[in-house]
Amino acid sequence: MRGLFVAVVVALALGLGLGLGFEGASLLGQREPQVTALTPASPAPVITVAPEGSDEAATIDLFRSARDSVVAISTSTSQRDVFGRNAGEVPLGTGSGWLWDNQGHVVTNAHVIEGASAASVQLADGRAFDASLVGRDTIHDLAVLQIDGQDLPTPLTLAAPEPPLVGSRVLAIGNPFGLDWTLTTGIVSALERELPSDQAGTVRRGLIQTDAAINPGNSGGPLLNSAGQVIGVNTAIYSPSGGSAGIGFAIPAATVARVVPELIRSGRYTPPTLGLTFDPRINAAINRQGLPGAIVLDVDRGSEAAQEGVEPAQILRDGRVRPGYVITELGGEPVATLDDLLAALDAHAVGDRVEVTFATGGGEEQTMELSVLAGS
């Protein structure tokens, strides 16, 4: 019995000691918790949106430098009520334009102001000015407005008359659907495109085709090259839906350089001439009969053409026309219709010397060099 009692006491003592030992370890753990060292997080990498020298940075810089020179144009027209007693201005349309010089001249499309009795030009800084019409040319779809303001933005620079290269980068700035100062980008898709003009029987030639998004409201805005120079004036789109389909057209800088100064000087553009007279209806009728070319109907007295012996057609008593000299080539370009001649002649400046090939009444050809004269 005594031995059993001692064994129980020893067992209890060991159990109590173990319990106290674990409890003590537990209490010590609470008094002195272990601290784990944390590794500091690496800083987030800095991402540059437009790295210096990148195409993206160049596009941003170009837009910032050209934006203020592009304007938004709003037009209105006078309208009377059904009783004819009260008249007022009602909104007509919107378009784009750009500053040509420091005198406040603004270049846009002729169709932007078609039918308008008033126009307002808004700058990117929020200022708006009433604009006056300086001149317009519906054949080339160009017009010039003028505003009177102080501290106007720097005008844009017109590119050299040489056509751009297909594939070169372009940017369009305008106000499509009234969304002002919108930038779109693309390339020159093709050159020498043709579209019917607003004047019956004539065609606008030499247009630049681009895939930069152009929509209603972009008309009159600039098409810029990567140097920020104006290579064209956005004028039309090809689209079954009325929105951008990736086929837009711009009037080339060479045409703008010829037409705009004349609109500013005289209010109208008169195509150059050779001192010869033609008639579209008579010419078209003779072309349909199988005779190609531009039929000369009259020669200005004292002109260089008269001195070279150019003979006009004769109108017979029965109304038939007996052709005299017929232009078949100008400056190396074939001339099959009168429109071909006018388009080729329009590409030359007054004072240029150009080779002209005539088919004479005797079935022979004669080539002579004539001066391009100012139209009247």
**Residue predicted with more confidence, 135 or 320:** 135
Least confident segment among 34-48, 66-80, 288-302? 34-48
Catalytic residue among 189, 197, 219, 244: 219
In angstroms, the CA 237 to CA 239 distance is: 6
Is 117 an annotated catalytic residue?
no
Is 141 an annotated catalytic residue?
yes
Catalytic residue among 69, 96, 141, 340: 141
Q: Which residue(s) pair with 173 in the sheet? A: 183
Backbone angles phi, psi at 279, to 5 degrees: -135, 120
List where CATH 2.40.10.10 sits in the chain: 65-146, 169-266
pLDDT tens per residue, range 220-234: 999 999 999 999 999
List where CATH 2.30.42.10 sits in the chain: 276-371
Contacts of 325 (CB under 8 A, 6+ apart): 296, 310, 311, 312, 358, 359, 360, 361, 366
What's the DSSP call for residue 103? Answer: T
The domain 65-146 having CATH identifier 2.40.10.10: the answer here is yes
CATH superfamily of 276-371: PDZ domain (2.30.42.10)
pLDDT tens per residue, range 81-121: 655 566 667 888 899 999 999 999 999 999 999 999 999 99
- pLDDT bracket for residue 48 (50, 70, 90): low
pLDDT tens per residue, range 128-185: 999 999 999 998 999 999 999 999 999 999 999 888 999 999 999 999 888 889 999 9
Amino acid at 132: S
What's the DSSP call for residue 58? Answer: H
Q: From the CB of residue 16, how many other CB atoms can be counted at a distance below 10 Å?
A: 10
Coil vs helix vs strand at 279: coil
Q: Is 161 exposed, middle or buried (0-12, 13-18, 19+ CB in 10 A)?
A: middle
Residue pair 111/93 in contact by the 8 Å Cβ criterion: no
**Residue predicted with more confidence, 226 or 343:** 226
Q: Tell me what the pLDDT averaged over the chain comes to.
A: 84
Catalytic residue among 74, 105, 111, 340: 111
pLDDT at residue 18 greater than cutoff 90: no
- CATH code that applies to domain 169-266: 2.40.10.10
Question: What's the pLDDT at 21?
Answer: 41
pLDDT at residue 194 greater than cutoff 90: no
